[in-house]
Structure formats: structure tokens, C-alpha cells
């Protein structure tokens, strides 16, 4: 996501708004920047997004939770997965991952109608003029983001970072709620429960001990996140490995999405 810093540096408020709007439509920061760069208005950007719009899922959209954290992880590289969004390009409206994932489940015209009405404050008549007839109340009823009450816990995040960098799996597990979810596109396998998350990390994480991982705090989708760098055992250099985007409640971390870089 650091590659979008130059775009953020030259983006004015209108451009940020267009990029954020296109991201809500497409679920892809790469495509959002591309479409917004060739569009001067929300009408033009929305039309282009409707031409491109498909469905970008998360692993939780495709299969049931796995009950075998030590087993083989199934990967689908051909799927166009939902992508995280850098905060430096965000406008003032919602971009949290639960909302974006829920929007991706709607048909493209319903998705556009909800975004334009609820977030961009367009009137129903203006929306109809662009999209044609859309049942907005039904579209809104179909939108079911799985959002809990997020809380700000900087101390927990600091201890989480330290535990990962020490590769202290028993401590890592304590930061997750009992029914927490861990998913990591492009792997379709995902896991529910703090104990299963610990078993997964112990089995499949490339780290072997303290110092193998470095976590850099960042923000993505207006949520706490970490850029994870993993030590290459051959040349001893830490290289980009994951972006972990976390959802925190009073019970602890309830959702972690580890996007491969």
C-alpha cells in the first residue's frame, strides 16, 4: 500500500472522494485509482465502475470455517480478492472492511445506489437519472455488514506487535476474542476461535523465533493495521509479507484479515 503514497500526495479532496467512491464500488484500490484518474465527475466514475464491477470476496464469503489449522491451506490465486485501502487516500466517509465486503455482495446497480444515496447524499431522482430504476429500500435491506462496536486500544496493539515480533504464540492468542476470525486471501481456508488461530500460526507461519518478523503500525480502511516484514533466511533481509487489518472490540480482536503482499 505504500506505493500509493505519491498518489495521495497529489490528490485533492475531489480526487480523494472519487478514489474512495470507486473503491467502495470495486473493492480494489488499484482499479479505484485507475478509474478515478480518468474521471472528472462522480457520474463518469460510477458508469466506469458499473462496467467493471464484479464481486471481490473475502475467504469468509466462499466457504465454511476450517476446523483443521494444521492441515493444508487451500489457495485460489485466480480469484480477484477484496483489497485493503490506505488511509491516506480516504475521504470522510466509511471504508471499513465489513462495509466494503457487504457492498461487494450486492448487485452493481444496488451497490451504486446505496453508496450514492447513503454516503454521497444524492437524491433518489438523481440516482434514477444515472442508474435507472433501483429499489433503494430493498438494496439497503440487503446490505448486512457484520460490524461490532470497534474500540481504540493502543496498548493492546503495542503488546500484539511485541508478541508477534517475539513469535510468542501463546501470548498472541490472548489478544483474540474466543470467537475471533482469521482469514488470509488468497487462501480460501479461514479459521474461527482463538485456539485455532494459535494453532494456525504455530503450524504455517514462516517465522521460527524472535526477530524473524517485524511489524510496522499503519492504518487501513480506517482500522488498525500492521505491515508485516518476514526475514528471508537466505540473505537475512526482512521483506514485505502481509498487511494485517484488525477489528477490535472490548473483548479483544474479533477479526484479522492478513492480506498477502
∠ Cα 250 57 252 (to 5°)? 10
Question: Is the confidence at residue 191, as pLDDT, over 70?
Answer: yes
Q: Which helix (DSSP H) or strand (DSSP E) does residue 241 occupy? A: strand 238-249
pLDDT at 6: 65
Residues of the chain with pLDDT > 70, as a percent, come to 96
pLDDT at 144: 82
pLDDT in tens, 15-50: 999 999 999 999 999 999 999 999 999 999 999 999
What is the residue extent of each domain of the chain?
2-142, 154-260
pLDDT at 53: 86
pLDDT band of residue 149 (cuts 50, 70, 90) is low
∠ Cα 118 123 129 (to 5°)? 115
Beta-carbon neighbour count of residue 214 at 10 Å? 16
Average pLDDT over residues 188-201: 98
Give burial (CB, 10 Å; 0-12/13-18/19+) of 5: exposed
Question: Is the confidence at residue 146, as pLDDT, over 80?
Answer: no
Question: Is the confidence at residue 2, as pLDDT, over 60?
Answer: no
Question: Is the confidence at residue 148, as pLDDT, over 70?
Answer: no
Alpha carbon 117 to its chain's center: 23
Q: Which residue has the higher pLDDT, 144 or 97?
A: 97
CATH number of the structural domain 154-260: 3.10.450.50
Amino acid at each position: 500500500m505504500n506505493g500509493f503514497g505519491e498518489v495521495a500526495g497529489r490528490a485533492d479532496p475531489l480526487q480523494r472522494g472519487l478514489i474512495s467512491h470507486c473503491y467502495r464500488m470495486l473493492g480494489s484500490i488499484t482499479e479505484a485509482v485507475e478509474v478515478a484518474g480518468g474521471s472528472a465527475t462522480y457520474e463518469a466514475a460510477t458508469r466506469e465502475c458499473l462496467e467493471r464491477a464484479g464481486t471481490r470476496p473475502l475467504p469468509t464469503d466462499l466457504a465454511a470455517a476450517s476446523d483443521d489449522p494444521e492441515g493444508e491451506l487451500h489457495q485460489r490465486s485466480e480469484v480477484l480478492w477484496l483489497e485493503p485501502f490506505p488511509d491516506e487516500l480516504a475521504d470522510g466517509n466509511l471504508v471499513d472492511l465489513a462495509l466494503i465486503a457487504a457492498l461487494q455482495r450486492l448487485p452493481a446497480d444496488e451497490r451504486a445506489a446505496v453508496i450514492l444515496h447513503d454516503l454521497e447524499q444524492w437524491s433518489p431522482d438523481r440516482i434514477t437519472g444515472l442508474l435507472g430504476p433501483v429499489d433503494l429500500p430493498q438494496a439497503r435491506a440487503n446490505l448486512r455488514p457484520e460490524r461490532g462496536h470497534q474500540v481504540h486500544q493502543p496498548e493492546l496493539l503495542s503488546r500484539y506487535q511485541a508478541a508477534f515480533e517475539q513469535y510468542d504464540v501463546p501470548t498472541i492468542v490472548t489478544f483474540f476474542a474466543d470467537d475471533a476470525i482469521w482469514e488470509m486471501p488468497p487462501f480460501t481456508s479461514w479459521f474461527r476461535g482463538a485456539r485455532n488461530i494459535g494453532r494456525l500460526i504455530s503450524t504455517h507461519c514462516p517465522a521460527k523465533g524472535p526477530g524473524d518478523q517485524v511489524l510496522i503500525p499503519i492504518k487501513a480502511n480506517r482500522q488498525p493495521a500492521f505491515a508485516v516484514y518476514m526475514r528471508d533466511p537466505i540473505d537475512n533481509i526482512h521483506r514485505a509479507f502481509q498487511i494485517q487489518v484488525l477489528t477490535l472490540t472490548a473483548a479483544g480482536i474479533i477479526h484479522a484479515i492478513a492480506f498477502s503482499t
